[in-house]
Structure 1
Amino acid sequence: MNDHQGDALAGLKVLDLSWVVAGPLIGRTLADFGAQVVRVESSVRVETARLMQPFHGGVQDKEGSALFGNCNAGKLGLTLDLKSAEGQQVVRDLVAWADVVVESFSPGQLARWGLDYDTLRADKPDLVMLSTSIAGQDGPWSTLAGFGNVGSSLSGFQHLTGYADRLPMGTFGPYTDYVGPRLALVTLLAALEHRRRTGEGAYIDVAQVEAGIFFLSPQVAHFGYDGTVAERHGNRDEQLAPHGVFPCRSEDGADRFVAVAVRDVAEWRALARAMSRPDLADRADLETAEGRRAAADELETAVADWTAGRRAEDVERVLQGAGVPAHLAVTSDDYPADAQLAHRHHLVELPHPRHGTTWVEGPRYQLSGTPGRPRAAAPALGQHNHEVLSRILGYDADRIAVLTEGETLR
């Protein structure tokens, strides 16, 4: 885990005070590309992600969550009682060591502990600190508690997901937990570049709601232009047609589907011919996207009738071969064997202290000169307490013993 020489972020030191998904994914990416990341948590108030499925062997175990493992691979793990004065002093010492602090406590909590940015930068003016929360650190919604599903609702995703004649279905899972870190990471790297040039630190306040709204920029811009409120319309697209997810033949009783998207008249004709429907391929009213959208019900029925008698894999192969964007709707069983993910070595097997081995996702970015990689499984609770305190902070054995006996390291 210490072999970071030549990595894109070699030498970067990060204190990770975040939890669940939105914050830890930022530190995870930094660790993949060579940063040394110290992850602080508590064994008393156990981090929520440690209690979330899926689990190794299907049995809930705070050391066996695949979600926690994926978000925290490559980090050093330190357990601290942050409510204690001694634990807060350890954090201050880690801040003095670190270049970056990432945190996701409820807005105002760090200030109550004297660990907020304004307090910390008094002793470390070049500190770069990033806070991530649902609605930001100030304003009337700042104290709103919740996870990414709440952020998804406030951003507008929940309203837009589903069919026009039914209630909203909502996106699966805490959607903005995965949108926010992407924008946050770019901003954080920009702050580090600014510090390199000027010596100045920065404070970054990431609101999941704002990150989600940015992701819906076209819909927001449309409303600003003429007052149009975006509505849900199932799997249809405002521009492309046909565009949807269609049922395929099931061989084991499980529902199977294939997604198809037609972008222009050439792809439409290729799809129609693949379905042996020259009558559709040659129709003048279907040569434009507008015409195909007007006939959406008819075209979707034709595509569904054709896919229903075929295996999803066969539909995918035939349509891709004809130049039509198509892919089977991947299930959890399909995912590990996906040829594209295998080609890019996206799933990585790592030694695990409790379960022998575990699997995590690889980096989301491929860099040619400095490729990233997960270097170790996520830490067990307190796994690196001694290493962090002695090697990184230089505490002697007596001081570590006092912290241990006083139950600060828990």
Structure 2
Amino acid sequence: MDDALDVLVKRIQGLSSRDDDIPHLHKLLREAEGKGLLCQSSSRLAFLLEQLDPSQHSLGYLYILEAYTSTPSSNDQARGRLPTVAGFIDSCVAEQIRLVPDKFISVCRAFKDGILSLKTPIRGVGPLRTAIRKLQSSSGRVTSLHSDFVMLCLLAKCYKTGYSILEENIFETDQPRDLYLYCYYGGMICIGQKCYGKAIELLSNVITAPSSTMSAISIEARKKYILVSLILNGQLLKCLPKHENSITIRRVKSLCQHYLDLAEVYSTGEIFELESFVETNRQKFESENNLGLVRQVISSLYKRNIQRLTQTYLTLSLQDIANRVSTTPREAEMHVLQMIQDGEIFASINQKDGMVNFHEDPEQYKSCNIIEHIDSSIQRIMALSKKLNDVDEFISCDTAYLAKVELDRRHQFDFDDYDQPFFM
């Protein structure tokens, strides 16, 4: 057995230098795995890895590393493997690891589990981001590691790092479940960044995704979707998938009823009623880890009520604003200042007499920034259009699709044949 392993290592070293030899090496590694050569020699795997360079022998190193990380180990042993995996992710050759993506994903997830067991998620953010780039065949593809990466960013509170990958357009995915988790965790990252528009987009992807059963991910996404809709739009935007039947809809409503009731109370615009409702249902929201977001909903109602005043009045005192939105003058001033800073209203405060002057939007929409924003939107739409055309052309030429269409056509009745009388 030891001789066979030594021969395998030498073959890995000899066949990894030329691209033309990689397919032959891949075949040898599959044969060795099929014979159980690596699994039966778990005690020697660490020694074998020391004889290989992950930057030169990536494919062979990955086979051995996957077997090494799959063997049972103590907590100390698992911790000791983390630097080895991180070093491999950083230096491996992308073209070689893409030949066996399942093994690379398995190694990365073992690394993620080890990081989580140490309760240091920030240590996994950088390596997993590198792993995604090496696994991706294109920037628009969501891999099975995307959801793990975004989850680590969420746990480590690295919202900016997680958001950077969420800005990329999505065209393809490996597994539907990975996409659901990616969009759900991504929505939470966007909430942390207060990018509510992007959060709604991602959460709606989870809600409207075709599925034969109602998942826990979908239910949690709906709850957060309701809250973010209230914060961003002041009302609940309808986002129900067309394929849902009445039984599923009733079950969803029962599981999300206190969130739907919250939206109903919010629509009245009454702060006291909203705060009273939240206090009554505080335990429910807290148990579902949504109390912080619910508090942002309350804050958004204060702001929305102030925004309504700008549509009616040119000047108001802080005392008048406080009376109309049911708060104190000091809190009213803080809300107004924050809204001015965030660009939600255009106003100025005269500190001498406590008067607030509301202004028109100064943006003329002809600056360089606006032009660049419009141009980037056009470029994005053009890229999406091209991608859709390519997919349409691919499907139109796919033999399996054409065969299914032909089969369906044969099973359909042509009712026009019965328009003529049976007897002539």
Query: Shared topology, TM-score over 0.5?
Result: no
TM bucket (normalised to shorter chain) is under 0.3
**Structure having the higher Rg:** 2
Flag the structure with higher strand content.
1
Question: Which fold has the larger relative contact order, with Cα–Cα distance below 8 Å and residues 6 or more apart in sequence?
Answer: 1
TM-score by length of 1: 0.24
